[in-house]
Amino acid sequence: MALYSEKVMDHFNNPRNVGIIEDADGIGEVGNAKCGDIMKIYLKIDGDIISDVKFKTFGCGSAIASSSMATELIKGKPLSQALELTNKAVAEALDGLPAHKMHCSVLAEEAIRAAIKDYYDKNGIEYDKILFPDPHGEEEHHFEED
């Protein structure tokens, strides 16, 4: 049995929605110090709908595939639906991830939540703080942008 599903390999080899949205309405950046993966999600929001989403991920194939799939799952959806996206749903959409790579799908969920929180904060939109817990409390890691 292959370690990775065909969908994981497809999203790794042909990732969707890669890039930066220069005038993003919300940006979420998360990292896992233990594995070295860093994920950054950019959202463009029209009304309550995610009209565009891009990502930059520094990490393994599972992290890239999880980022790609997560962006596909929230594009065109209302913010409330994007907030319901779980790491389990990302992993299932990829036809599974090895147990030792499930943290990659967790990063995708956390990056989306962080981007939505950033949008809410920038626009003074009230939200339930329980929806946005600090997942790790670990030191932050950042991309160097060109």
Could you give the residue numbers annotated as active site? 35, 104
Residue 56: phi and psi, rounded to 5, are: -130, 125
What sign does the dihedral 127-85-26-117 (CA atoms) show? positive
Distance from C-alpha of 21 to C-alpha of 4, rounded to nearest angstrom: 30
Distance from C-alpha of 114 to C-alpha of 41, rounded to nearest angstrom: 8
Closest by CA position to 111, among listed 137, 139, 81, 132 = 132
Distances (CA, A) of 46 to 53, 78, 106: 12, 9, 26
